[in-house]
């Protein structure tokens, strides 16, 4: 009798793997019915990962969005699925036990059926509580094997990992091939090994398309016993996202599997609506290169879910490095060459950093170090000059046990900086915070929300939540849309002029005006102030303090070389910026929250 294969539409990941933002509540509600009417879905990935944070950045309440988005699927019996990061929950950083437990309770009540939990280091200690809390909340616990390819990430390694997760009580196993670099034959052997250990355990395959393996991998894991395959849809299939439903459906059907038929008219409606959302403004944040497959990704192993932000980061770094090259009378570099240099650098530093599987947040850490290394090497400087605290936590064992050994370069650097390694349970390093945060919300006259869902968002994404509540996030989105439109037009029209355009955000109509300049650099008056200039080593948003209670540097203060004088939020991490000089602060050359490029003047010290 032919085996039935089920399909899951990863509608959330389609967007995250393409660009920065995803549809708002009204758009998601609009597309839900035609998705249902396609008739082929057993599961829909609705939330998790960057979903909550992205909605806050867009000025929306993620709790309201999620309840509206999951409701239509709940009503017709299609299972909804979320992605969570184990120790980090829905954050980029480790989260306390009480917040993790609340998250599962809240997400279940908001309509999420399945929790897909992963640990970026494949450290099962970080997944133990995810399994426990998911099942306690009444969710299906699905645990991931984060797939990568190296001498230590073998078939036996992954089968043994799955066995341990099954022993901990997980209900399902996900083959999370986040970069799409799992070799089809090896992935099939992993599935066979899991099914041999437990024939009844459900196995779901999630593979990105970047390097081009995903179609062959989907067929191979199905032949070896996988039960569900994740797929994407046009116009956001392929490239850095996932194989398209039409292709996967056909190869499975042709191979003899039973697959639910789909309604083509509804498929075209979902495709049309998704394109409508892109044309509205979301396409401004989708780099065209993310729509292409690239076999260079086989060696670097950079994940699809990170490529949206990576290309945005790379574009900013490209502007910065070319400004520096131009100032120093050197030939500018193309973004293709910069991208190629980044891939080579990732390949070089990954083993030195202990072979962490390149998945959020560790893919961000490795990528960030690689970008800074590439920029510094172009400028004739040494590697490893800027490693943020979160990356150090990973290297030192505070996020979990690295799969491999650290290279001599990192060991020496850690010794030179007086860093200490940690071998305990990473969860023990994080104190419970819910009651403290509850008091803080009460002080701000903010309601903790139904089922404490607002308290959860505040606890997971405090900075973004505050910006959302103040209206700053929505204003920043509108301003950034204007800026992105300016960039698009300036590529075609390098002449200075004013433009007006109508845009629609969350069903509100805005008339925006923006100016296009010829891109020429303007000399800063800071060049005429005498003193030693502290330059930014990286692009991003600059702040004098990362915490409201922290003392801020002010003009007239004395600082010593090596003192932390500000912070730059760049590429999803906070970098502590240290003074290169001792002396008095003569001038602070930025305002809190300013966007800056590397080599911009931050302070003048004399």
Taking only the tens place, the pLDDT of each residue in 259-289 is 999 999 999 999 999 999 999 999 998 888 7
pLDDT score of 479 more than 60: yes
d(CA 298, CA 178): 12
Contacts for 187-190: CB closer than 8 Å, 24+ residues apart = 187/147, 187/217, 187/220, 187/221, 187/224, 188/220, 188/221, 188/223, 188/224, 189/155, 189/224, 190/145, 190/155, 190/158, 190/159, 190/162
Nearest Cα neighbor of 298 from 182, 381, 409, 391 is 182
The mean pLDDT value of the chain amounts to 89
pLDDT score of 495 more than 50: no
**What letter would DSSP give residue 285?**
G
Percent of all residues in the chain with a pLDDT value above 90, rounded to a whole number:
66
Q: Are 312 and 287 in contact (CB under 8 A)?
A: yes
Nearest Cα neighbor of 427 from 403, 395, 382, 397 is 397
Q: How confident is the model at residue 290 (pLDDT cuts 50, 70, 90)?
A: confident
Q: Is 569 helix (H, G, I), strand (E, B) or coil?
A: strand
The pLDDT of 565-569, averaged and rounded, is 90
Which listed CATH number (2.40.40.20, 2.40.50.100, 2.30.29.30, 3.40.50.150) goes with 525-605? 2.40.50.100
- Residue 132 neighbours by CB distance under 10 Å: 16
The pLDDT of 295-302, averaged and rounded, is 76
What pLDDT is recorded for position 480? 85
What pLDDT is recorded for position 157? 96
Q: Are 171 and 165 in contact (CB under 8 A)?
A: no
More confident residue, 490 or 467: 467
pLDDT score of 512 more than 90: no
What are the residue ranges of CATH 2.40.50.100 in the chain? 525-605
């Amino acid at each position: 009798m032919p085996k039935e294969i089920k399909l899951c539409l990863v509608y959330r990941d389609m967007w995250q793997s393409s660009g920065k933002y995803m549809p708002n509540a009204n758009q998601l509600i609009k597309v839900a019915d035609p998705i249902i009417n396609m008739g082929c879905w057993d599961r829909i990935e609705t939330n998790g990962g960057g979903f909550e944070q992205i909605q806050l950045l867009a000025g929306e309440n993620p709790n309201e969005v999620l309840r509206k988005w999951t409701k239509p699927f709940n009503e017709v019996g299609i299972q909804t699925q979320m992605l969570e990061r184990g120790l980090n929950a829905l954050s980029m950083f480790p989260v306390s036990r009480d917040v993790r437990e609340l998250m599962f309770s809240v997400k279940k009540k908001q309509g999420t059926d399945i929790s897909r939990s992963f640990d970026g280091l494949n450290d099962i200690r970080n997944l133990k509580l995810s399994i426990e809390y998911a099942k306690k909340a009444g969710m299906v616990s699905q645990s991931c094997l984060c797939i990568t390819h190296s001498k230590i990430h073998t078939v036996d390694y992954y089968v043994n990992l799955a066995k341990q997760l099954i022993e901990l009580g997980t209900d399902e196993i996900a083959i999370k091939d986040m970069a799409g670099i799992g070799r089809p034959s090896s992935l099939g052997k992993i599935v066979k090994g899991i099914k041999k250990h437990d024939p009844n355990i459900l196995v779901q395959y999630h593979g990105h398309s970047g390097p081009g393996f995903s179609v062959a991998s989907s067929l191979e894991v199905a032949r070896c016993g996988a039960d569900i395959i994740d797929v994407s849809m046009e116009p956001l299939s392929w490239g850095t996202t996932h194989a398209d439903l039409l292709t996967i459906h056909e190869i499975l059907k042709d191979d003899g599997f039973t697959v639910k038929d789909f309604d083509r008219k509804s498929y075209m409606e979902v495709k049309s609506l998704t394109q409508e959302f892109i044309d509205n403004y979301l396409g401004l944040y989708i780099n065209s290169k993310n729509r292409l497959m690239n076999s260079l990704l086989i060696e670097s192993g950079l994940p699809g879910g990170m490529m949206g932000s990576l290309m945005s980061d790379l574009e900013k770094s490209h502007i910065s490095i070319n400004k520096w090259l131009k100032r120093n009378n050197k030939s500018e570099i193309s973004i293709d060459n910069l991208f190629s240099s980044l891939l080579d650098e990732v390949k070089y530093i990954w083993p030195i950093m202990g072979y962490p599987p390149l998945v959020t947040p560790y893919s961000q850490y490795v990528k960030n170090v690689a970008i800074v290394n590439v920029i510094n090497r172009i400028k004739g400087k040494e590697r490893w000059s800027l490693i943020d605290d979160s990356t150090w936590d990973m290297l030192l064992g505070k996020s979990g046990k690295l799969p491999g050994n650290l290279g001599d370069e990192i060991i020496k650097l850690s010794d030179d900086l007086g860093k200490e390694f940690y071998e305990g349970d990473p969860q023990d390093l994080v104190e419970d915070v819910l009651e403290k945060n509850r008091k803080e919300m009460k002080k701000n006259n903010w309601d903790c929300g139904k089922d404490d869902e607002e308290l959860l968002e505040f606890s997971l994404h405090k900075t973004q939540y505050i910006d959302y509540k103040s209206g700053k996030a929505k204003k920043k989105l509108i301003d950034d849309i204007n800026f992105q439109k300016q960039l698009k037009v300036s590529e075609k029209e390098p002449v200075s002029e004013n433009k007006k355009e109508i845009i629609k955000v969350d069903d509100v109509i805005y008339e925006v005006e923006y100016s296009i300049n010829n891109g020429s650099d303007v000399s800063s008056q800071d060049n005429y102030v005498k003193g030693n200039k502290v330059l930014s080593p990286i692009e991003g948003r600059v702040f004098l303090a990362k915490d409201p209670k922290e003392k801020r540097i002010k003009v007239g203060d004395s600082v010593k070389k090596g003192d932390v004088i500000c912070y730059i939020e760049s590429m999803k991490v906070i970098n502590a910026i240290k003074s290169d000089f001792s002396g008095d602060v003569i001038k602070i050359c930025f305002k809190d929250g300013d966007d800056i490029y590397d080599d911009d003047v931050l302070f003048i010290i004399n």
